[in-house]
Amino acid sequence: MNILVTGANGQLGNEMQLVAKNSKKDKYIFTDVCEGYEYLDITDIDAIRKKVHECDIKCIINCAAWTNVDKAETAGDIVETLNATAPENLARVMKEVDGELVHISTDYVFGGDPYNIPCKEDQKGTPTGVYGLTKLHGEQKIAATGVNYIILRTAWLYSEYGHNFVKTMLNLTATKPTLKVVFDQCGTPTYAGDLAAAIFDIIENHKYKNHTGIYHFSNEGVCSWYDFTIKIARLARHNYCDIQPCHSNEFPSPVTRPAYSVLDKTKIKETFGIKIPYWVDSLETCMKNMDALKI
């Protein structure tokens, strides 16, 4: 089967390139709008349709999105275009060829209503900002096409690649004598390598058949951003930075972020037989990889 991956130069896209090398039967085609990849503008449905027919694509894994949460508030229509219209385009084309769409969504579809237990897939979406709202619209538009789809909501994504919280904290704890990090937002860090491995397993072993729907994936466990930073610093042996907990209101933001952003992963584990690693173990794996890559 020929599989097209969009947003190949992002965190998840790079991890998908690594796991795809293990495929015994599928061919992966990686696209983006930057140099080094086959060019594909997913806001252009005719371009998608042409690529799908030329390459006989039967599955698309959409890793592309607008992900800058704060800038989404003032960026205009481009956020809705990338996060909702573009996924709809992919879904429509896959529907035409009876193919499968795997789409990545986010915990930011929640947050407006108070809750203190892990979010299940059928919980009502109450996004607090443009990013979460447009991602929710993307989910809704995909479902409305009638395509075979798997939507994977994830949270606090990081990897060896691109810009992310782990890399930022590694730099700050290495260079700052003191650092304040919020402790009143809780969630689960998710290593993009684990998410890529889960997607690969679902596709490679054809587990997706007859399982259209929304699923949650993050690493196991719960922590605050403060706890996450402490673990990053200790693993890196950045022992001279005094890391202190603080409240979210000490760092004003255009968007109110979910205070409790834990995803219930029962459905994905039971449906696909996936074993999910604990967040600390995955963080250690990622940081070892960074050392090996000299990142």
Q: What is the CATH number of the domain that holds 135?
A: 3.40.50.720
Q: What is the pLDDT of residue 294?
A: 74
Tell me the pLDDT tens digit for each residue of 124-135: 999 999 999 999
Quick one: pLDDT band at residue 115, thresholds 50, 70, 90? Answer: confident
200 occurs within a structural domain: yes
Q: Is residue 291 part of a domain?
A: no
Confidence of residue 113 (pLDDT cuts 50, 70, 90): confident
Domain range holding 20? 2-162+190-218+263-277
Q: Could you tell me which residues are beta bridge partners of residue 263?
A: 119
- Asked whether residue 195 is assigned to any structural domain, the reply reads yes
Q: What is the dihedral of CA 173, 174, 175, 176, to 10 degrees?
A: 30
Known catalytic residues are 131
pLDDT of 118 higher than 80: yes
Q: Indicate the number of domains in the chain.
A: 1
Residue 196, pLDDT score: 98
Q: Mean pLDDT in the chain? A: 96
pLDDT of residue 161: 95
Confirm whether 140 is domain-assigned.
Answer: yes
Q: What is the pLDDT of residue 291?
A: 87
Domain presence at residue 225: no
Mean pLDDT to the nearest integer, 203-222:
96
d(CA 193, CA 266): 20
How many C-beta atoms surround the C-beta of residue 189 within 10 A? 26
Average pLDDT over residues 262-290: 97
What is the mean predicted confidence (pLDDT) over 232-240?
96
Residue 52 included in any domain:
yes
Q: Is residue 167 part of a domain?
A: no
pLDDT at residue 253 in the model: 87
Q: How many residues does the chain have?
A: 295
Residue 214 lies in a domain: yes
pTM: 0.97
Classify burial at 230, counting beta carbons within 10 Å of its beta carbon; exposed 0-12, middle 13-18, buried 19 or more: middle
Q: Quote the pLDDT of residue 210.
A: 93
Q: Does the pLDDT at position 295 exceed 80?
A: no
Among residues 240, 212, 243, 211, the alpha carbon closest in space to that of 143 is found at 212
